[in-house]
Amino acid sequence: MRIDILTIFPRILQGPFSESMIKRALERGLAEINVVDLRLFAEGKHRQVDDAPYGGGCGMIFKPEPLFAAVEHLKSGAAARVILLSPQGRTFNQKMAGDLAGERHLILICGRYEGVDERVREALVDDEISIGDYILTGGELAAAVITDAVVRLIPGLLPARSVEDESFSASMLEYPQYTRPPEFRGLAVPAVLLSGNHAEIELWRRRRSIERTLKTRPDLLKNAELSAENYKYLEQLSRDQKDTLDSRGDKE
């Protein structure tokens, strides 16, 4: 997989791709990541990439010429999926990461200032992605997040079981994890995890995952893959939760 990241601040992205899983993917030839300075494709003495918006308004917006020139150069006649990182885009999630991991070539455009000339959206960009409902100074950190999430899903980098078992992969939050020592400052590891009974351990993990998801991210449950037993357990938790709320209401 090849990922090209277009930015006017390439130094921001020097660190994230030189460590951990991404570094391993690069060393093993599973991924190629290029951080490209957009100003190299701007014309004129000052390499200007932005200008004031027509009709007035505060701030500056990216000009179309440098972006078109850069993307067309990076494509070099081959197919590539061009993504604009913008707060107006679809919210990034694990399913999208999996879809992008199946692409051969991604071009990520790091938005900045007040955005881009609309003609970039109309004629250059294939998709627009946001990493959340908050404002960043630019798309560089979003590019790092998306690149990390996508690269680690490239086949051959991680064991298949690790990817399957990870949080969110089955639309559920991960169960609690423990390691040695078995007791620390009066806090003990649940006995079932020390029992060696793999069936009971799997049941415990699944139920804790359901509980955690219901408590903090109930929106994920609508897409969760639940067995009949797990669905029955979720219904019981929901009833217990409702009874608790009703009881509190009666006391008030």
Between 150 and 162, the more confident residue is 150
Tell me the sheet residues that pair with 158. 155
Say if residues 101 and 147 touch (Cβ distance below 8 Å).
no
Q: For 29-62, write each residue's pLDDT tens digit.
A: 999 999 999 999 999 899 999 999 999 999 999 9
Among 158, 180, 170, 151, smallest CA distance to 213 is for 170
Six-digit token string for 91 = 């919210």
Task: Report d(CA 229, CA 215) in Å as an integer.
Answer: 19
Six-digit token string for 163 = 């990817």
Say if residues 67 and 6 touch (Cβ distance below 8 Å).
yes
Q: Give mean pLDDT, residues 2-24.
A: 95
Per-residue confidence at 92, pLDDT binned at 50, 70, 90?
Answer: very high
Per-residue confidence at 252, pLDDT binned at 50, 70, 90?
Answer: low
DSSP at 145: H
Q: Say what angle helices 94-101 and 140-151 make with each other, to 10 degrees.
A: 70
Task: Report d(CA 92, CA 147) in Å as an integer.
Answer: 12
CB atoms within 10 A of CB 159: 9
Six-digit token string for 49 = 């990439």
Contacts of 185 (CB under 8 A, 6+ apart): none
CB atoms within 10 A of CB 18: 10
Task: Report d(CA 215, CA 238) in Å as an integer.
Answer: 10
- Supply the mean pLDDT for the chain: 93
Which pLDDT belongs to residue 171?
82
Q: Give mean pLDDT, residues 100-127.
A: 97
Question: What structural domains does the chain harbor?
Answer: 2-158 (3.40.1280.10), 183-251 (1.10.1270.20)
Six-digit token string for 72 = 């067309």
Say if residues 224 and 95 touch (Cβ distance below 8 Å).
no
Phi, psi (deg, nearest 5) at residue 106? -115, 140
Say if residues 83 and 98 touch (Cβ distance below 8 Å).
no
Which pLDDT belongs to residue 167?
57
* DSSP-H helix ranges across 15-104: 20-27, 64-75, 94-101
Secondary structure element (H or E) that encloses residue 167, with its range: none
Reduced to 3 states, what is the DSSP secondary structure of residue 88? Answer: strand
Q: Give mean pLDDT, residues 174-194.
A: 97
Six-digit token string for 79 = 């197919």
CB atoms within 10 A of CB 179: 7
Phi, psi (deg, nearest 5) at residue 112? -155, 175
Q: Give mean pLDDT, residues 186-194.
A: 98
Task: Check whether 126 has a pLDDT greater than 60.
Answer: yes
pTM over 0.75, yes/no: yes
